[in-house]
Chain A
């Protein structure tokens, strides 16, 4: 039995959905792309072109909700389905949208570069706890025009894992799909076995921007999975109440799904988000607050009521260094997300409200995730009797270490942490330099990077990718791609 955390009663869920439908009629949803408004109008929604507001009746939306695939897989580049979006499957990937990197020696946050992103990708590639890669930091030395596709390029060069990514412009969405298609054998083949999911964001409250709507339509038509990242900010860009924010999230997601499914029924889409409460002293958006995790757990439960694949942003911290706060916020949230049965949980490695990535933290977070995944496996029944057979021959002696079954089941029962976690005696700890978690992670990361091996991918496809990206870089004014 997979342990579960549920925090909404069925009555509350019904009320959340009901109020979301009410919001979609009054005040309606602001849809800033004409083509999207036209799709909604054709389906029976009432459109105010002057205000760009669409009043979406429940029956129009309900029809769209029916055609959403209840599950799909992401594939690695060996063609294996390694991420299951659906049911209560739980996966983790590093956080994305970072701009800075934590320098492990100076503890300063500095703008990230190619080298930093490559390091993060290699780290996530080496740790089994991460089921997917993310395009985690923007590389500061690369022109902004290609910032998004350049991140994906690096991931494709250094890892075969599926990717949670996103584009900054419509043009680049298309370019990034083409990049992925190189390895899939064309766009149609990619749609059959997608290797990436694209984040698409509504703008709180209740707005689908031009770019957001465009992305929904383009991704739907390409058959590439879209992941809605709705971001109600409780108390600022959303109601102060956690439940009010969940209602807003529901309305933003249902309206997004409606546009998406009207563009192409049956295309895969994920019920996701990155909400937060607003810290009313600092005016910041704490991703590590328990209320943030509560909104996530609640909206995921709403999504599950419909049977949709789910995503959220948890497992990051607002601390600036990898300290107790970082550990507390990240591991608590990772555990909550896992227990909520959320299909993809993004955020690991991140500090400072998702602005700063730390590869060392990513490595430590993997331990929290390993423990959360162990928790999810639950209390396992391996044997006919739970204990009585194992007591044969024991005769009041603590000799279970000698039993064959102890050896057989050890790794199934216990999650074995890496050397980042200290379980030695005080003497062993002292002997090993009396290190703290961060220092151990630094050492461990070095071992990991030394042992890393580049993926074996067809050279002609790699060359095609490089040619394509260097062509796009030239257009953006960068004569040569940074050396890898």
Chain B
């Protein structure tokens, strides 16, 4: 019975059906299923599956995004129950995310946020056109582990370096790692500006973020 519910949970994510995911999360609470089990043995299985299919070219961006949205919905139902029980989902880490000042490209960055939060990161998505200092300050206030800086233009890409330097200046580098991404960004660029990590796409970003946290 419980196994079947877990299966249905994974399926709701694979199908990208937020309403199904919401219903199943509520059902889990009614049945007294441990919310953590619901997440880890149910919904996360679906997220992993879609991520894998995306990597092999069998699933596409809409599937990925909708899976992330369904995951968010399920977690938001389960979270109040977790705090009631005094447990909480073990966060993999906290990420502050944004597209850098002067750049308003949204899609790639949002996708990274969706995938990170589906994977179990706490994500503060500051949106687009984000000033360097507000990224750094948010990171400090929220005790973030990672800052993710997106840039789609070669002209705004250079500001990724400013984020690195600002963190250096404020002495935050020992605790806060920096991930960079965006169409013109390469591994070489990441190395050149002293960023800690780079990813090609949203699925890759999850793996990279986990590495930065020393997981897996």
What's the minimum C-beta distance from B22 to chain A, rounded to whole angstroms?
15
Q: A381-399: contact bitstring with B at CB < 8 Å (1 yes, 0 no)?
A: 0000000000000000111
Question: Is B61 a contact partner of A401 (Cβ separation < 8 A)?
Answer: yes
Given contacts A397-B106, A398-B107, A407-B16, contact A425 B66 (CB under 8 A): no
**Identity of the chain B residue whose Cβ is nearest the Cβ of A405 in the assembled complex:** B62
A397 to B106, CA, bound (A): 8
Given contacts A398-B106, A410-B60, A425-B183, contact A404 B200 (CB under 8 A): no
Q: A419-444: contact bitstring with B at CB < 8 Å (1 yes, 0 no)?
A: 10000010110010000000000000
What's the minimum C-beta distance from B17 to chain A, rounded to whole angstroms?
9
Which of A401, A403, A425 lies in contact with B107, CB distance below 8 A? A401
For the A-B complex, the count of residue pairs with Cβ-Cβ distances under 8 Å equals 33
- Kindly identify, within residues 171 to 191 of chain B, every residue whose CB is under 8 Å from any CB belonging to chain A: 183, 186-187
User: Which of chain A's residues have a CB closer than 8 A to the CB of B107?
Assistant: 398, 401
**Identity of the chain B residue whose Cβ is nearest the Cβ of A397 in the assembled complex:** B106
- B196 contacts A by Cβ under 8 Å: no
A398 to B106, CA, bound (A): 7
User: Which of chain A's residues have a CB closer than 8 A to the CB of B111?
Assistant: 401
How many chain B residues sit at the interface, stated as a range, is 10 to 19
Question: Is B183 a contact partner of A410 (Cβ separation < 8 A)?
Answer: no
User: Which of chain A's residues have a CB closer than 8 A to the CB of B57?
Assistant: 419
A410 to B66, CA, bound (A): 13
Question: Is B69 a contact partner of A402 (Cβ separation < 8 A)?
Answer: yes
Question: Is A428 a contact partner of B200 (Cβ separation < 8 A)?
Answer: yes
- B92 contacts A by Cβ under 8 Å: no
- A406 contacts B by Cβ under 8 Å: yes
Question: Is A425 a contact partner of B200 (Cβ separation < 8 A)?
Answer: yes
Which of B65, B183, B187, B200 lies in contact with A402, CB distance below 8 A? B65
- B63 contacts A by Cβ under 8 Å: yes
Given contacts A398-B106, A401-B107, A428-B200, contact A410 B186 (CB under 8 A): no
A397 to B69, CA, bound (A): 16
User: Which of chain A's residues have a CB closer than 8 A to the CB of B106?
Assistant: 397-398
Which of A407, A427, A428, A431 lies in contact with B66, CB distance below 8 A? A407
What's the minimum C-beta distance from B65 to chain A, rounded to whole angstroms?
4
A237 to B111, CA, bound (A): 62
Question: Is A404 a contact partner of B183 (Cβ separation < 8 A)?
Answer: no
A427 to B182, CA, bound (A): 12
Q: B53-70: contact bitstring with A at CB < 8 Å (1 yes, 0 no)?
A: 000010011110110010
A333 to B61, CA, bound (A): 33
Q: B91-117: contact bitstring with A at CB < 8 Å (1 yes, 0 no)?
A: 000000000000000110011000000
Which among A397, A401, A406, A425 has the highest number of chain B CB atoms within 10 Å? A401
User: Which of chain B's residues have a CB closer than 8 A to the CB of A398?
Assistant: 106-107
Question: Is B186 a contact partner of A427 (Cβ separation < 8 A)?
Answer: yes
A399 to B66, CA, bound (A): 11
User: Which of chain B's residues have a CB closer than 8 A to the CB of A425?
Assistant: 183, 200
User: Which of chain B's residues have a CB closer than 8 A to the CB of A428?
Assistant: 200
User: Which of chain B's residues have a CB closer than 8 A to the CB of A402?
Assistant: 62, 65-66, 69
A404 to B67, CA, bound (A): 11
Question: Is B60 a contact partner of A404 (Cβ separation < 8 A)?
Answer: no
- Kindly identify, within residues 91 to 149 of chain B, every residue whose CB is under 8 Å from any CB belonging to chain A: 106-107, 110-111
What's the minimum C-beta distance from B7 to chain A, rounded to whole angstroms?
21
A419 to B186, CA, bound (A): 23
Which of B62, B110, B187 lies in contact with A407, CB distance below 8 A? B62
User: Which of chain B's residues have a CB closer than 8 A to the CB of A403?
Assistant: 62
**Identity of the chain B residue whose Cβ is nearest the Cβ of A401 in the assembled complex:** B65
Given contacts A401-B107, A402-B69, A407-B16, contact A427 B62 (CB under 8 A): no
Q: A275-317: contact bitstring with B at CB < 8 Å (1 yes, 0 no)?
A: 0000000000000000000000000000000000000000000
What's the minimum C-beta distance from A228 to chain B, rounded to whole angstroms?
43
**Identity of the chain A residue whose Cβ is nearest the Cβ of B64 in the assembled complex:** A401
User: Which of chain B's residues have a CB closer than 8 A to the CB of A410?
Assistant: 60, 62
**Identity of the chain B residue whose Cβ is nearest the Cβ of A427 in the assembled complex:** B200
**Identity of the chain B residue whose Cβ is nearest the Cβ of A400 in the assembled complex:** B62
A410 to B65, CA, bound (A): 13
**Identity of the chain A residue whose Cβ is nearest the Cβ of B65 in the assembled complex:** A401
User: Which of chain B's residues have a CB closer than 8 A to the CB of A427?
Assistant: 186-187, 200
User: Which of chain A's residues have a CB closer than 8 A to the CB of B187?
Assistant: 427
Question: Is B186 a contact partner of A401 (Cβ separation < 8 A)?
Answer: no
Question: Is A404 a contact partner of B66 (Cβ separation < 8 A)?
Answer: yes
A401 to B183, CA, bound (A): 18
Give me 23 A-to-B residue pairs in the complex whose CB atoms sit less than 8 angstroms apart, sorted by A's number. A397-B106, A398-B106, A401-B62, A401-B66, A401-B107, A402-B65, A402-B66, A402-B69, A403-B62, A404-B16, A404-B66, A406-B62, A407-B60, A407-B62, A407-B66, A410-B60, A410-B62, A419-B57, A425-B200, A427-B186, A427-B187, A427-B200, A431-B200
- Known A404-B66, A419-B57; further 19 A-B contacts with Cβ < 8 A: A398-B107, A401-B61, A401-B62, A401-B65, A401-B66, A402-B62, A402-B65, A402-B69, A404-B16, A407-B16, A407-B60, A407-B62, A407-B63, A407-B66, A410-B60, A410-B62, A425-B183, A425-B200, A427-B186
- What 7 A-B pairs are tightest by C-beta distance, nearest first? A407-B62, A401-B65, A406-B62, A398-B107, A402-B65, A398-B106, A427-B200
